[in-house]
Copies of this chain bind each other. A is one copy, B any other.
Amino acid sequence: MMTDPVITTLNEALAQAAAEVEQALDDLLPMPEGPESRLVDAMRYAVLGGGKRMRAFMVMETASLFGVDRRCSARTAAAVEMLHAYSLVHDDLPAMDDDDLRRGKPSTHKAFDEATAILAGDALQTRAFEVLAEPDTHSNAEARCELIRAFAHASGAAGMVGGQMIDIVSEGRELTAEQIGRLQALKTGRLIQFSAEAGAILGRANPMQRHLLLSYGRDVGAAFQIADDILDVEGTAEDVGKATGKDAAAGKATLVAVLGLERARAQADALSAQAAHHLDSFGEKAQHLRSLAALVVARKS
């Protein structure tokens, strides 16, 4: 239970950012007329009204360090959430992880059908890039292109999708802790890392500031993933909102399996502390981001 006053403040800030990104998503995905409305319906189903919006929060908080207009950072955050949602929609497909449940409700292919889910994921990815390219996201086109490049690098073959491929190829194989770390860095880490870097790009930060936020994102992402694996072992489906114990059942390699619970937890805590440390030079303004680093390893869902 989060009764610590710092965490309460963080939860308020998380709720505030979630509300802003929810509004941005709603605005950015208007329902069309005609039979293609089914597609947008599925896109909205997949991305609206769910999730902790941690990635969105990181975009908005890192952007706020540089005084970026919150409407601009909310658009960028919405693009990240669209990208994340598309990856979940495709991940849940029968040919992939075959998950019927996502955030406590039917996965997109169960609520609609497989073809619609494939297309909705595809179009969410497209829309994410489109939003970043629009002038409302940043007045400077160089910044928008830089945002798109970093976003694509984090989410494509050299990032998230590459990590999903490694995950599939590795199923049933024994991996070393290093190999698992790399898999997770690509599969979930890169997009979380981008979420922290995005604020620096939007804020035209200097290279050192950008590097520090990128490092923060990298460590928070790694800590988050270990915490996720711990939850998969310890949590109940009710708490987590999706099936648990699946990693072990699927023979998926996790750091918990290789290191054991205690050492995995210690590593997550060390990464969380290290993440906060990267923020030292940002002072008081970065307090929410520090609290977030603590929250990701303390969360129960």
Contact = CB atoms under 8 A, between A and B. Distances in A.
Nearest to A97: B115
Contact of A133 (B38, B140, B148): B148
A32 interface: yes
| Most chain B CB neighbours (cut-off 10 Å) among A36, A125, A135, A141 | A36
Interface in A61-94: 86, 90, 93
Secondary structure dominating the interface of A: helix
B145 A126 contact: no
Contact of A36 (B34, B135, B166): B166
Contacts of A141: 140-142, 144-145
Contact of A114 (B95, B133, B149, B153): B95
Interface stretch (A46-54, A157-165, A266-274): A157-165
A238 to B, nearest CB: 29
B126 A165 contact: no
A35 B90 CA distance: 20
Contact of A162 (B36, B90, B129): B36
B161 A39 contact: yes
B127 A129 contact: no
Contact of A93 (B38, B40, B118): B118
Given A129-B152, A133-B145, A157 B118 contact: no
A11 interface: no
A127 B160 CA distance: 12
Interface of A: 32, 34-36, 38-40, 43, 86, 90, 93, 95-96, 113-116, 118-119, 121-123, 125-127, 129-130, 133-135, 140-142, 144-145, 148-149, 152-153, 155-158, 161-166, 168-170, 182, 186
